Chains A and B, each alone.
Chain A
Amino acid sequence: MKYRIFTKRQLVARILLYLAVLLMLAFTALPLIYVVLTAFKPLDELLRFPPTFFVSRPTMTNFSDLVTTLGSSDVPFLRYIFNSLLTTVITVFLSVIVCCMGAYGMVKHKVPFSNFIFLIIVSALMFSGHVTQISNFMIVNSLGLVDTYWALIIPKIAVAFNFFMVKQFIEQMPDAYLEAARIDGAGETLIFTRLVMPYLRPAVATLTVFSFVNNWNDYFSPLIFITKEQLKTLPLALQSIGESGNIARAGAMAAATFLMTLPTILVFSFMQRQVIQTMAHSGIKA
């Protein structure tokens, strides 16, 4: 630990700096703290005038309301949570495997035209996914996958961003490791599962975070691919409760917002260290 001795002027500057940062963090964090507090407010506090920020009598009723009263449209709320979790977990899992395999193949072995292909992948980082959604819809439609879970999974496995992150990371891996294993007679599958994947752990953690966040929050894909109520995911369900404008549902809405927000923040805070470690290699040299 290194201690510095500040002059008086430096100390004042330091305090002002911390104050400025705290102000900025208030802007980013207060709405989120508000989500948490609101989820535990009883209905009379939710509708109080003037509005309050803090909760005075915390309760769990909003959560039990969410599970019971929202079953009105034949689909219990838990089903939306299940749909979101299932499609997100499968997409994350497949995307991590497919992108790691691809990056390993491209970096540590030879792939024809790999420079040109990588250039295309970098270009794909530039445009928003909405551009390809029309064609994706036509493809998914012709495969007969509209209104299935697969429609939410298959188009989002090969993501340029994910591939890019792993590729940058795996370039740091020393070839000597792999050579040694090959001399010992290890097959390629064994090398990939026992050497490469463990080495990639920080990158895998990072992909898991980003992929989880993107798919959990995705509103556009289920909007175009899913019409059956029992297959809808949380963002769609939340949107429709919000639109109904039913004041009695304010509590359930607060609880649903909380449940929608919590998982991504938890996942990120568990893996924060690895994410930053991976992001250090994320730059693009143009």
Chain B
Amino acid sequence: MNRKVSALVSKYKVGTLFFLPFFTLFVIFVVLPIFTAIGTSFTDYDLLNPGKFVGLSNYRLLLFDDDIFVTALKNTLVFALFSGPIGYLASFFMAWIINQLRFKSVFALAFYAPSITSSVAMSVVWLYIFSSDRYGFANNLLYNMGFINQPILWNQDATTIMPIIILISIWMSMGTGFLVFLAGLQNVSPDICEAGQIDGIRNRFQELVYITLPQMKPQLLFGAINAISGAFGVFDIAVAFAGMPSPGYAAHTLVAHLYDYAFVRFEMGYASAVACVLFLLTFFFGRICMKVFASND
């Protein structure tokens, strides 16, 4: 028995010692919080008094009585379903093109730069372009071209807020996927492409579909997973562009709702229920991507 234990210890000792700092912090700040959030979502808890178990009532409130939550859910889904796929496809397409050009790294930097900027800082620029008076670039341009007589209230009108936030966030989010794809494209072996040409691949598009894409599944999956967690976590840019609360809750997202209940009202139970919905959504879409981009080998 004793010998077994000491054998185990010597087998795992070094690895575990190296792994322990990461593991401890990861469990405390990433793994346990998921379970705490699930647990807290069944309670009524305000940080001061001990939590009270209330069963499913937070979820009942959320789904049937909280119109603002339903708006937030709808906004988040609309946002994610537009900005996610468009940003993903655009970044793949650009990586594919830029990879075939000269001066690759200059092009890559220019394309990637927006995604490492701060959304709070960039909202200053976008607010300037979409400013609601005639000083704004967009209004100025439309006015001079004779499309409008009165300035469009870009960040106050509930119908224009969401499309612009989608545009800004596509602008900001294309980069991460782009880098992964660009790196992945450089891995695709030229030998297989040559073999493909012998086997009757005639143009670049056929090469893309039959040779490049299947080889890039792992990168495509990594890019997709990043796109999902980014698209469902939208918050900064919405707040910076339209304020909080936004006019008619047009820019109110799940994270905004979570923030409002958790850190303004301190209703931790209710906010945790929102977090769980967000968690389930991202997990659900993540699993779908895992299925779609599964590598066969």
Contact = CB atoms under 8 A, between A and B. Distances in A.
A158 B116 contact: no
Interface string A272-283: 110111111011
A180 interface: no
Contact of B187 (A32, A124, A239, A280): A280
Contacts of B291: 286
A145 interface: no
B118 A280 contact: no
A128 B30 contact: no
Given A28-B171, A130-B275, A284-B221, A260 B26 contact: no
Interface in A216-244: 216-217, 219-220, 223-224, 234-235, 238-239, 242
Nearest to A105: B18
Contacts of B53: none
A25 interface: yes
B245 to A, nearest CB: 14
Contact of B221 (A260, A278, A286): A286
A33 B126 CA distance: 13
B74 interface: no
Interface string B102-131: 000101111111101111111111111100
Contacts of A157: 25
Nearest to A237: B120
Nearest to A166: B22
B121 A238 contact: yes
A76 interface: no
Given A102-B19, A133-B262, A124 B97 contact: no
Task: Please classify how large the interface on chain B is, using the bins under 10, 10 to 19, 20 to 34, 35 or more.
Answer: 35 or more
B271 to A, nearest CB: 6
A72 interface: no
Task: Please classify how large the interface on chain A is, using the bins under 10, 10 to 19, 20 to 34, 35 or more.
Answer: 35 or more
> What's the dominant secondary structure at chain A's contact region?
helix
Interface string B52-93: 000000000000000000000000000000000000000000
A269 interface: yes
B218 A134 contact: no
A217 B113 CA distance: 13
Contact of A51 (B19, B108, B136, B282): B136
Contacts of B120: 217, 219, 235, 238-239, 242, 260
Given A51-B140, A105-B14, A135-B40, A273 B105 contact: yes
6 contacts: A110-B11, A134-B37, A134-B275, A135-B32, A188-B18, A242-B240
